[in-house]
Chains A and B, each alone.
Chain A
Amino acid sequence: MSRWWEGALRRWGDALRLHPEVVQVQDDEALPRVGEWWREQGNWCLRLDQQHYALFHAEVEPESVRQALSWTLQLSRQASHRSWKDVVLNWFQEYLTAVGMAHEAGERAVMTGIGDLSALAAMPQGYFVWIHPIRQELPTVESERAVEEVVRAIAGKGWLGWVPPSPSIPSYTLLVYYSVDGAEESVHGLETEPNMDVSPEYAEALRVKEHVSSLLTQLEADAFYTARAAVGCKVTAPAEAVAGMQTALAAWRVQSMASHPGRVCLWAETPVEQLLLQLSSESRRTFRQMVGLRSRGRDIQLTPELRETLEGIVAANLNVSEAARLLYLHRNTLLHRIERIREQTGYDVRNFKDAMVLWLLQGVQGAERPE
């Protein structure tokens, strides 16, 4: 009898030219749990089930490849022996664990369906959305219920659940899987013209963003719940779900980094920030050192005031008069601040390259700041 993991393992092996050896183990051997990786004499190993693990003779790098491999295996296991609805609910748990949001027993997030899901034959396409409160206080049972009612009333189809604080998101957060299959009927007053200049996929993401933004308004008006939201990439197949949740988390990180965050952060709108978040700490350090070479003080740390000035100038496309207007400053005050930035850093933010370097530096520093 073939094992449930064989197909997936073979496909991955072929795609990545990894040809693992499957090793038999005794049940009582003290090995990491199913789905976990470890090193054995310089080789990567992955526990497949109680009796087997895979031993890779080639490198399996980077970590995201290993993670992806273990989760695809997990998914194919569940798909093999459960009804799809149970599978979906269980997936959420697995996804949460995959993105580092595992919780103590009894504190697990429970996802419940939104709308009539009985007609669905498979997991619908959609987006993961983290809805996190702006204030830290725990929602009461009553307000939790009101929040859920509002989400249900708007979202059409999907799932929602409360996720207790974790190292990834340190507040009590609402996770919504926002299905786009059931969302043709948009919230009224928000039907936007289709944007001809971007791809249909991107236009859809922008519509979802708008939809989520109106959800936030409703949450305030009806549930008195003030929140921000982070939207991940589109999930078109179960295998993309982890990526969908991970990108939503990445959008959340960008949002919590920003000094004046918007209410909805769409992952697709943050390529530069994502790039900065992925840099290794060595490359970040090198970048900071190189940027600092021009500055007398070496390590550039703008005060919040000068940071705001920089952001204003970038937002105004380096147009000083426009920036002065955006920042509600007199032109001379702004020029004075620009001069201060130049004195402190050696960079003149009226110059595109200089402004870009300082702007990237803010991002690099933001990516380093602990949450």
Chain B
Amino acid sequence: MARVTLQHIWKKYTNDVAAVKDFNLDIEDKEFVVFVGPSGCGKTTTLRMIAGLEDITSGDLYIGDRRVNDVAPKDRDIAMVFQNYALYPHMSVYQNMAFGLKLRKVPKPEIDQRVRQAAKILDIEHLLDRKPKALSGGQRQRVALGRAIVREPQVFLMDEPLSNLDAKLRVQMRAEIRKLHQSIQTTFIYVTHDQTEAMTMGDRIVVMRDGVIQQADTPQQVYNHPVNMFVAGFIGSPAMNFLRGELAEESGSIFFRAPEMSIKLPKGRYPSLRNAGVVGKSVVLGIRPEDLHNDEVFLTTYPDATLRTNVEVVEHMGSELYLHVTAGGQTLVARVSARFDVKPGTSLPLALDLNKVHVFDAETEQAIPHAAQE
């Protein structure tokens, strides 16, 4: 069993600033968890505390059923892959992979068996005699993974292992690592600041900011139901649009009002909005770029949710256009099909998909949950 449990974990490097604050997370056996967040939010620190490379200031850390706060890193049964996937230049791939086991005095036949098995999983059997110099970037990265696999750890810890690779290889290696996770059936904890990587790799993603977990959930859930404006803005590319305004109630309907905007919100949202006490208050309306539509069907279905916008910039992204528009002094990005011919400097009506609208309390920046979620 390789559950990893973090209970009220704090890390303070200096007396007055905490890098990680009251971190609570239960990672299941064989789960693939991704820590994601902007630079400096404490991802590496948390991972290093799990590894035992950094002391835990307070709180409890369990691997399996064992409290490991005071267990030396080498006895924690973990393996790490770092960003600098350095290999030993004078050693062959085989020797590189065997090195860690040799240090631990694992018997030779067993080393051999483990190295060959790992090489098979990673499809690098034919490279075992090569020196790192004679390998491509992706092959080196695989060897680095191999060095961790041969340890047969209970938990894999990876800190931005792909950030040294070019974009194309990175996409390919993401899939490889997922496949690896499937074939060796171990707990993976993976750190990245790249939200796309997090979304595509994790069973669950943990969004962090400023040392605090913002949300820990499946990628779909985090994308569709971000708990606050930070998560909403961080996950998804281009980022979610935020419109500032207020909620007003008129003859039984609730409207979002801002200069040159009046959007009637769907009835299903009313109970939760009233509950949250935001009617009559300042709110932020969130809408993802793909949930703004310029096709006739939407414009006619949602006449109460249409914005008159001015197109400032049109970015051609192949099959799609990113439209940078303004409406009532606020700026938005819309993602529309490239079959529309949109010119900068023109005006364009855009309809919001009201089922996909997010409402945030402007003061606390917390999301007002959809009724369906409650």
Q: Do A and B originate from a single complex?
A: yes
Chain A residues in contact with chain B, CB under 8 A? 135, 143, 145-146, 149-150, 153-154, 156, 185-190, 213-214, 217-218, 220-224, 226, 259-260, 303-305, 308, 326, 328
B248 within 8 A of A: no
The segment from B77-85, B118-126, B237-245 that touches chain A is B77-85
Residues from chain B with Cβ under 8 Å of A188 in the complex: 86-87, 89, 132-133, 135, 140
Residues from chain A with Cβ under 8 Å of B85 in the complex: 189
Known contacts A188-B132, A188-B140, A221-B80; decide if A260 and B103 are in contact (CB<8 Å): no
Residues from chain B with Cβ under 8 Å of A185 in the complex: 89-90, 133
The 3 A-B pairs at the shortest CB distance, nearest first, are namely A224-B73, A188-B132, A214-B86
Flag B70-105 by CB within 8 Å of A: 1 or 0 each. Answer: 001110000011101111111100000001101100
- Nearest A residue to B75 via CB reads A224
Residues from chain A with Cβ under 8 Å of B132 in the complex: 188-189
Residues from chain B with Cβ under 8 Å of A187 in the complex: 86-89
B164 & A189 in contact (Cβ 8 Å cutoff): yes
A154 & B16 in contact (Cβ 8 Å cutoff): no
Can you report 23 A-B residue pairs in the complex whose CB atoms are below 8 A from each other? Answer: A145-B103, A153-B90, A154-B89, A185-B133, A187-B89, A188-B87, A188-B89, A189-B87, A189-B132, A189-B164, A190-B86, A214-B84, A218-B88, A220-B53, A220-B80, A220-B82, A221-B100, A222-B100, A222-B103, A223-B103, A224-B52, A226-B53, A226-B54
Tell me, in angstroms, the Cα distance from A172 to B85 when the chains sit together. 28
A328 & B40 in contact (Cβ 8 Å cutoff): yes
A217 & B14 in contact (Cβ 8 Å cutoff): no
- Nearest B residue to A183 via CB reads B89
Residues from chain A with Cβ under 8 Å of B87 in the complex: 187-189
Tell me, in angstroms, the Cα distance from A213 to B133 when the chains sit together. 19
Partner of B147, one of A146, A221, A260, A303: A221
Residues from chain B with Cβ under 8 Å of A222 in the complex: 99-100, 103
Tell me, in angstroms, the Cα distance from A215 to B208 when the chains sit together. 29
B55 within 8 A of A: yes
- Nearest A residue to B147 via CB reads A221
Residues from chain B with Cβ under 8 Å of A260 in the complex: 13
B15 within 8 A of A: yes
Residues of B136-155 at the interface with A, using a CB-CB cut-off of 8 Å, are 137, 140, 147
The B interface is mostly helix, strand or loop, or mixed, namely: loop
Q: 19 additional contacts, CB 8 Å, given A221-B100, A304-B17?
A: A135-B55, A145-B103, A153-B91, A153-B99, A187-B86, A188-B133, A189-B132, A189-B164, A217-B86, A221-B147, A223-B103, A224-B52, A224-B53, A224-B72, A224-B74, A226-B54, A303-B16, A304-B14, A328-B41
Tell me, in angstroms, the Cα distance from A303 to B102 when the chains sit together. 49
B82 to chain A, nearest CB (A): 5
Partner of B84, one of A146, A189, A303: A189
Q: How many residues of B contact A (CB 8 A)?
A: 37
A-B contact count (CB 8 A): 82
Tell me, in angstroms, the Cα distance from A308 to B14 when the chains sit together. 11
Interface core residue of A149, A218, A326 (most chain B CB under 10 Å): A218
Residues from chain A with Cβ under 8 Å of B88 in the complex: 153-154, 187, 218
- Nearest A residue to B53 via CB reads A226
Known contacts A214-B84, A220-B53, A304-B14; decide if A189 and B140 are in contact (CB<8 Å): yes
Known contacts A149-B103, A328-B40; decide if A213 and B84 are in contact (CB<8 Å): yes
B105 to chain A, nearest CB (A): 9
Residues from chain A with Cβ under 8 Å of B133 in the complex: 185, 188
Residues from chain B with Cβ under 8 Å of A221 in the complex: 80-82, 100, 147
Residues from chain B with Cβ under 8 Å of A326 in the complex: 40
B14 to chain A, nearest CB (A): 6
Tell me, in angstroms, the Cα distance from A221 to B41 when the chains sit together. 23
B162 to chain A, nearest CB (A): 12
B124 to chain A, nearest CB (A): 15
Residues from chain B with Cβ under 8 Å of A145 in the complex: 103
Partner of B86, one of A146, A189, A303: A189
B260 to chain A, nearest CB (A): 28
Residues from chain B with Cβ under 8 Å of A189 in the complex: 84-87, 132, 137, 140, 164
Residues of B20-73 at the interface with A, using a CB-CB cut-off of 8 Å, are 40-41, 52-55, 72-73
A212 to chain B, nearest CB (A): 11
Residues from chain B with Cβ under 8 Å of A259 in the complex: 14
B290 within 8 A of A: no
A333 to chain B, nearest CB (A): 12
Residues of B292-329 at the interface with A, using a CB-CB cut-off of 8 Å, are none
Residues from chain B with Cβ under 8 Å of A143 in the complex: 74
A304 & B90 in contact (Cβ 8 Å cutoff): no
A48 to chain B, nearest CB (A): 45
- Nearest A residue to B17 via CB reads A308
Known contacts A224-B52, A224-B73; decide if A217 and B90 are in contact (CB<8 Å): no
Tell me, in angstroms, the Cα distance from A190 to B91 when the chains sit together. 16
B210 within 8 A of A: yes
Partner of A217, one of B40, B84, B135, B137: B84
